[in-house]
Amino acid sequence: MHSCADNLVTDTPDDEFECVAHRPNSMSDKPLHYCPGCTHGIIHRLVGEMVDEFGLLDRTVGICPVGCAVFAYEYFEFDSIEASHGRAPAVATAVKRADPRRFVFTYQGDGDLAAIGTAETVHAAARGERITVFFVNNGIYGMTGGQMAPTSLPGQKTTTSPGGRDPALTGHPIAVCEMLSTLPGVAFAARVPLTSPKNVNLARRYMRKAIRAQLENIGYGIVEFLSTCPVQWGLTPIAAMKHIDADVIKVYPPGVFVDRVPDARAAPVGAETDAGSST
Amino acid sequence: MPVWSVRSERCKGCRLCVEFCPRHCLEISNELNAIGYYPARMHDAGKCTSCALCADMCPEAGIIVVRRKRKKKT
């Protein structure tokens, strides 16, 4: 589909060149509708890379949220379901229980997962559903015009908190990973800021574990991405990433909160996965 | 020399690839593309090491990096 050497290197033998970066095969060729510099695009690409890497294209079902990523199903080659606002974990539970062979993930923003869908999220985690959650936390309602979200930082100026968020009036931000980490059904919970190539690589490592938590039938996996919303924050994409590194990670410390997934290197799983991918 | 290409008609000129290129070989073009942004372009291909960090940060998944295979150590 988007094979590397498509039009770049045509008159040289293929075995001389290798592709180090290209659009994942699980992603469709449609242009993304996100604002310039929005990390949604990076996370879409990471999801596509993971589905490619695990060879799950045939049996993946993505559950799309309401929010900026409402059209996520347009950008992937696998099947997706559009859930009502916040109900993605409930839909994912249904799909996974109906057909446990499927790889089911939800892709949710903070207004979806941490506001209207908190109950579904907490109870899906409490039941230890075998689903994987990719949580995009940018601390604001981006699509609807930059309103305050439960995850907005104290003092953050939004269209509904023009003087800055006042915790005495509107409460403190919800740290979803910390909240879920107390539940025994959660197999993997980690938070990563998407602010540099190094952190993108770290995000890949976390996503592999969260996916393995489901595939190896261990439990619920969640990866929280600290994302930017350059337009609604009123910053350039680069300044928005610096804002995450300087301020956001003080409220949302990155790291692994729960890890019940055994290390791939500890057991000779490598040989098995090699054999698995070739069949 | 590695082959670097961006789909200029998709690029929204967010500058993330320019910012995170460790060899500073990318820049923003001064010609608008069809969707009204100034796309990124390679201006010093000789310095590119095909590390693909630009592609890691590209939110449009529009960067392709191809390089000559390294010879295997025997």
Residues A90-124: tens digit of each pLDDT: 999 999 999 999 999 999 999 999 999 999 999 99
At residue A6, the pLDDT reads 53
Q: Which domain holds residue A128?
A: 25-278
Question: Which residues from chain B sit within 8 angstroms of residue A22, using beta carbons?
Answer: 55, 64-65
Q: Is A2 within a domain?
A: no
Please give the tally of structural domains in chain A.
Answer: 1
The mean pLDDT of chain A is: 90
Which domains does chain B show, CATH number per domain?
3-66 (3.30.70.20)
At residue A19, the pLDDT reads 87
Report the residue of B64, B70, B71 to disrupt the A interface, i.e. the one with the largest count of A CBs within 10 Å.
B64
Interface list for chain B against chain A, based on CB atoms closer than 8 Å: 3, 5, 10, 12-16, 19-20, 37, 50, 52-69
Q: Is the pLDDT of residue A128 over 70?
A: yes
Q: Any bridge partners for residue A91, and if so which?
A: none
CATH of residue A33's domain is: 3.40.50.970
Q: How far is A198 from chain B (nearest CA, A)?
A: 9
A-chain residue closest to B35, CA distance: A31
Residue A16 has which token pair?
């001389």
Mean pLDDT of all residues in A135-161: 95
Q: Is A252 within a domain?
A: yes
Mean pLDDT of all residues in A224-244: 96
Q: Is the pLDDT of residue A279 over 60?
A: no
Mean pLDDT of all residues in A239-264: 94
Of A125 and B68, the one with more pLDDT = A125
Q: How far is A185 from chain B (nearest CA, A)?
A: 32
Q: Is the pLDDT of residue A2 over 60?
A: no
The mean pLDDT of chain B is: 90
Q: Is A200 within a domain?
A: yes
pLDDT tens column, B6-38:
999 999 999 999 999 999 999 999 999 999 999
Q: Is the pLDDT of residue A264 over 80?
A: no
Question: Which residues from chain A sit within 8 angstroms of residue B20, using beta carbons?
Answer: 196-197
Residue B34 has which token pair?
């069809």
Q: Exposed (0-12), middle (13-18) or buried (19+): which is A132, by Cβ within 10 Å?
A: buried
At residue A4, the pLDDT reads 59
Mean pLDDT of all residues in A122-137: 96
E strand or H helix that includes residue A197: helix A197-215
Q: Is the pLDDT of residue A3 over 70?
A: no
At residue A276, the pLDDT reads 41
At residue B69, the pLDDT reads 82
Q: Is the pLDDT of residue A58 over 60?
A: yes
B-chain residue closest to A204, CA distance: B56
Q: Look at A2-6, A133-137, B34-38 and tell me which has the smallest mean pLDDT.
A: A2-6
Q: Determine, for residues B20 and A21 on separate chains, whether the beta-carbon distance falls below 8 Å.
A: no
- What percent of chain A clears pLDDT 90, i.e. is strictly above it? 86
What's phi and psi for A212, nearest 5 deg?
A: -65, -30
Q: Is the pLDDT of residue B60 over 80?
A: yes
Integer Cα distance of A273 and A264 in angstroms: 10
Residues 6+ apart with CB under 8 A from A252: A137, A173, A175, A191, A224, A226
Report the residue of A2, A196, A202 to disrupt the B interface, i.e. the one with the largest count of B CBs within 10 Å.
A196
Question: Which residues from chain A sit within 8 angstroms of residue B53, using beta carbons?
Answer: 197
Q: DSSP state, A70? A: G
Integer Cα distance of A209 and A278 in angstroms: 21
Strand segments (E) across A131-173:
132-137, 140-141, 147-148
Count how many Cα atoms sit within 13 Å of the Cα of residue A230 in the half-sphere of its side chain: 20
Question: Which residues from chain B sit within 8 angstroms of residue A37, using beta carbons?
Answer: 12, 14-16, 59
At residue A206, the pLDDT reads 96
At residue B3, the pLDDT reads 83
E strand or H helix that includes residue A64: strand A60-64
Q: Determine, for residues B59 and A40 on separate chains, whether the beta-carbon distance falls below 8 Å.
A: yes
Q: Is A108 within a domain?
A: yes
Q: Any bridge partners for residue A82, and if so which?
A: A64
At residue B74, the pLDDT reads 60
Mean pLDDT of all residues in A224-238: 96
Question: Which residues from chain B sit within 8 angstroms of residue A200, using beta carbons?
Answer: 56-57
Q: Is A143 within a domain?
A: yes
pLDDT tens column, A14-30:
677 888 899 999 999 99
pLDDT band at A212 (very low <50, low <70, confident <90, very high): very high
Question: Which residues from chain B sit within 8 angstroms of residue A35, using beta carbons?
Answer: 12
Of A259 and A11, the one with more pLDDT = A259
- Counting runs of H as helices and runs of E as strands, what totals does chain A give? 11, 10
Q: Is the pLDDT of residue A80 over 90?
A: yes
